[in-house]
Structure 1
């Protein structure tokens, strides 16, 4: 028998705010979290892109100093978001063996790795921190969350580039369905605003170069979009079966109705121009939700603001929804947050949860001249979704041909 899986807690640390509520309110207000970077290494290494979506509140300012010092920034953000989400869920009293963690990252502890390399070259092997490997390993955020919350059912890590944390939510849905846990903290984090990653993305012509106007650089669907904007942070969702949530009197935000995960098997960086893998992931998510495309009332699009990627996603949307794709309210929230890479799917799923709960599609900023090749319903202001039942999808697609989609339904007890 299929169980209803619900969201009972949310947490975030993003370029828009230090909490989920702050991030959501800033998103609705049309704010941008993208700013000029104030680091000496920008000039030192002649980095061609000088801005990004830095977390509005540094995680090390939130965590206790001894805790923060033992964690890479990606793990710091994970712990901040997970702690908020678990507290928001009412800190459910659940046996540790029934509490699981499904986490994700795209790049992992790049700061810890490359800082240690600098120390090795400049000061020798004896000065390399003993905790370097535990800090840089991709599963470190999941481990940090698991240890803090005493989650012993499992602590699993997904690393599928920019689809990572959407996949972690889809996995959490399946793990709850199969009975591996009663409560799961699912999400993702990334802290890769580093000279090597910016230089690499810039070298492949993937990043926007609007150094003179960072706040408007991420402009999905605009005719003059010129690339994505890097972001950092984390988001977490507490998921549990409806039965478990109601038994403990938990508040319920929304239902995770299904998920779909596919692979393009096309190119290491480019997605399939026909959108076949992306379309199939959407269809799988809807099939698992027991829903048809006609029931979808909102889409949080991957929409990175790259010239080709935005068009390819529209091709996939049209394959699933036909001409109705032009009518469904779409939000492209990376315009405000930048692209959190492995953490972006969780943040956008969180925004989608709040969208269906509050019956509002958040605005897409910086859309001044819509691309006629992408005829979607995208607004620079919040759009009301109506009073009836809502069903939304949140899309994530990543390097390597990874596609992940979650279907999120409004909850009415």
Structure 2
């Protein structure tokens, strides 16, 4: 079976376009969280987040294609184009039927603004909704592409048009686990020979009014607006929830043979992945962390290594009281009492990127392996003493050669996903080689 390696990283975050600007700021301990102008006068409890500002997708995608895209889809398109550019791959030299696309997102509908005119037209004299009036007015006041734009997997079509890819594809709808599953699926496509190159990852716009209003009452976002840019404090004694963010993370995966043949830079190998389910309940978390531990153990088993050998863990870290506790206990349960992996998390810097945050953690794990640097946990000032897992990186990055890393991602409904990355072996042009 072939080995799947990561050769391109495309990233759009509140720090800007490209993984380089995000990585520099994460290493420096900075945060992209700022006051959200779009909700400043609303009744939402969360007023701080990490939006993508000065977003100019037309620099990467033609305007005609952009016209049928929502913001979520535009983020995905830019992330994909940045990934292809970073991988330095000539798509014209690849059989388009051998190029796959596996994406994820949290998109539910088209732009809610398109519904305003129809909603106003549907009001009767008592200001209540009249469905007959709405139906009669719909053809003239509702955006003609409202349904098409609102299809969850529209980004698949957009990326296929951009790249010419006609191979294996898939779409996962959800939160952090969705993009981690997309990357795991892409790696399997490469390993089994169903595809030679796959674009995989996710995009989400959690700071837009519609998704933000949904999450605001779930208890996962921080309402500590007095904390400002430090509102998201993963694993900290004063943690109160995540800060919403938006962005896209798309990765280029290909076979080790393909990467070696074209002399591509390899960030890391995707060595294993596993997913489990936490039945505690919606937004719940097993306090002992058993589902997270099991996902880690299975993923490392697929990679052929025991959990105690992992060097770095990029935690999900949603900064909720119960979520961080369950995750920390799960990590300790998986690696054992004697292991001492470096533990980090980036949500304090980037905000909660929803469906793209799993791919973000995978990208950070790959960069950690590639650069030999483990970033600190932004805003972690005092580790909660109730947390059992030591090894949290604070204040400054840690320098060291990293052989194996795990990226964790948890879904709101109980999904727990672990992806194992490994330092790539020295390769000859056949893709064979040794550490």
TM-score (norm 1): 0.93
Distance 1:283 1:298, change over 3 A: same
Residue 265 of structure 1: aligned partner: 279
Cα deviation, 1:199-246, whole Å, max 9, x if unaligned, reads 332323321112233210010111111111111000111001101111
| 2:235 alignment counterpart | 221
Partners of 1:196 and 1:251 lie apart in 2 by: 39
**Larger Rg over CA atoms:** 2
Q: Which of residues 117, 125, 145 in structure 1 aligns to 2:115?
A: 117
Which residue of 2 is the match for residue 83 of structure 1?
Answer: 81
Cα pair 1:59 1:73 within 8 Å, conserved: no
Give distance in 2, aligned partners of 1:56 and 1:320: 39
In the alignment, the residues of structure 2 paired with residue 366 and residue 220 of structure 1 have an alpha-carbon distance, to the nearest angstrom, of 7
The alpha-carbon deviation at position 56 of structure 1 amounts to: 4.1
What are the residue-to-residue correspondences of 1:143-158 with 2, within 5 Å? 143-158=157-172
For 2:115 and 2:287, the matched residues in 1 are separated by 39
Distance 1:312 1:188 in 2: 25
Q: Distance in 1 between matches of 2:218 and 2:172?
A: 25
What is the CA distance between 1:59 and its match in structure 2? 4.6
SS of structure 1 residue aligned to 2:9: strand
The correspondence of residues 367-378 of structure 1 with structure 2, limited to 5 A, is 367-374=380-387, 375-378=389-392
Q: Could you tell which deviates more after superposition, 5-14 or 90-99? A: 90-99
- The answer to whether 1:129 aligns with 2:129 is no
Rounded to whole Å, the distance in 2 between the matches of 1:252 and 1:302 is 24
Moved over 6 A (4+): none
2:46 pairs, out of 49, 53, 56, with: 49
- The 5 Å alignment of 1:57-96 reads 57-60=54-57, 62=59, 63-92=61-90, 93-96=93-96
Give the superposition deviation at 1:55. Answer: 1.6
> In the alignment, which residue of structure 1 is the partner of 2:215?
201
Structure 2 gap ranges (5+): 122-136, 427-435
Contact 1:218 1:366 in 2 (8 A): yes
User: What secondary structure is seen at the aligned counterpart in 2 of 1:58?
Assistant: coil
CA contact (8 A) 2:223 2:240 kept: yes
Sort the Cα spacing of 1:386 and 1:146 in 2 relative to 1 into closer, same or farther, 3 A.
Answer: same
For structure 1, the 5+ residue unaligned runs are none
Q: Does residue 339 of structure 1 match 2:352?
A: yes
Q: 1:390 is matched with which residue: 399, 403, 415?
A: 403
Greater CA deviation, 167-176 or 61-70?
61-70
SS where residue 420 of structure 2 aligns?
A: strand
User: Hey, what does 2:34 align to over in structure 1?
Assistant: 35
Q: Equivalent residue for 1:98?
A: 98
Equivalent position to 2:373, from 355, 360, 364 = 360
Deviation at residue 29 of structure 1 after TM alignment: 1.4
Residue aligning to 1:24: 23
Deviation at 1:140, TM superposition (A): 1.4
Match of 1:237 among 239, 251, 271: 251
* CA RMSD, Structure 1 to Structure 2 (Å): 1.8
